[in-house]
Structure 1
Amino acid sequence: MQQLNVFEWLGNTALAISIRDSPWLFPIIETAHIIGFIVLVGSAFLFDLRLLGVAKKISVKDVADYVLPWSRWSLLVVAPTGFLLFMSEAEALSHNWVFGLKLVLILTALINAGLFHQFTFRSADRWSHSQTPMAARAAALISITLWLSVISCGRFIAYL
């Protein structure tokens, strides 16, 4: 009995073939993915910069209330478009170490955000406008580093 290769199967679905063969589908999906990623990372960066001390006149809580919903909503664009892009090249990407690293970095960034919101951010109401706790600043630096790394991996996938 022949072993089922999920990546080969995924890449041979009608949808994957349509995306791969169409002169328009892949670039349209990729553009939506990039725009969603700009919103996701841009709003996360704004929040992270506030945690690092930029715009101290605005409370961390107010910045979070304004920019973080943009990050959350953008995931509804980024995740499905990323999956569609992946499935159109599933076999090749399953062997690409940069793509694997990108997925690990995304997971790590999401875990970092989840831990921050679960523990550190709970006391944000009591933070001074002028100083955020060291744990919040560390989470912000980790977040910025991870998202910059994800972006870099996304660009390097095609070249490595």
Structure 2
Amino acid sequence: MSLLSIFQWLAAAPLFDVMRNSKWGFASVEMLHLVALTALGGAILIGDLAILGIGLSRTVSSKVGRELAPLFWMGLAGAVVSGALLVSAEAMKCYYHPAFRLKMLLFVLVLAFYLTLHRRAQDIAPGTQPGRLAKLSAVVSLTLWLGVGLAGRAIGFL
């Protein structure tokens, strides 16, 4: 099964008629997507800025990361589910849109980065300051997530 055939199925599946034909279906899911992105983005921003020593300077950044992890995972789950529903409403537009492809590429890269290098760099022992690797990891994380967001906005405008 090719990627094109999956998108063609999404575009034709009666299951997603509400997203395509309802006055409020797309708008409601988009609102949920924005709420999930807000939670996700807030967790990322606070966690990475803590590593960089900006804000929450009296708290160990690894503790900040642990405490924000549930918000991160809930925001990520909400964004993925609502994003998939949004794609179902405009499947063929998304399939052919270069900004959508860029967003998905950056999204896969940032998730792989987060689940591997960033988590290790974020694990800082109490009483120590984040090193260069941890700070570089935070900058890379913020840059990749910003790229995902900008590519997502470009889908609606290009």
TM-score calculated relative to the size of structure 2: 0.90
Residue of structure 1 equivalent to 2:148: 150
Q: How far did 1:121 drift?
A: 3.5
Could you tell me which residue of structure 2 aligns to residue 80 of structure 1?
Answer: 81
Q: Pairwise mapping of residues 59-98 of structure 1 onto structure 2 (< 5 A)?
A: 59-98=60-99
Q: Any idea what the Cα deviations from partners look like across 1:25-66, whole Å, max 9, x if unmatched? A: 100001101110111111111000001012221111221122
Q: Is the 8 A contact 1:127 1:133 kept in 2?
A: no
Quote the offset at 1:117 in angstroms: 4.9
Query: Which 4+ runs in 1 deviate beyond 6 A?
Result: none
User: 2:26 is matched by which residue type in structure 1?
Assistant: F
Give the structure with the higher percent helix: 2
| Unaligned segments of structure 2, at least 5 residues | none
Which of the pair has more CA radius of gyration? 1
Partner Cα distance (2:42, 2:62) in 1: 17
Kindly indicate whether residue 66 of structure 2 is the aligned counterpart of residue 44 of structure 1. no
Contact 1:116–1:136 (8 Å) recurs in 2? no
Describe the SS at the equivalent of 1:94. Answer: helix
CA deviation map 1:106-143 (0-9, x unaligned): 11111111123553234x12551xx3111111110011
* Residue 15 of structure 1, CA deviation: 2.4
Aligned partners of 2:118 and 2:137 also within 8 Å: no
Q: How many residues align?
A: 154
TM-score (norm. length: structure 1) = 0.89
Partner of 2:112: 111
For 1:137 and 1:18, how far apart are their aligned partners in 2? 45
Matched, 1:141 2:143: no
Tell me which amino acid in the other structure corresponds to 2:12: N
Q: How far apart are the structure 2 equivalents of 1:77 and 1:5? A: 25
Task: Give a deviation string over 1:56-103, Cα, whole Å, max 9, x none.
Answer: 211112211221220012122111111111111111110001000001
Letter of the 1:150 counterpart: V
Distance 1:21 1:132 in 2: 51
- State how far apart, in whole Å, the 2-side matches of 1:133 and 1:158 are: 39
AA at the equivalent of 2:104: L
> What residue in structure 2 maps to residue 28 of structure 1?
28
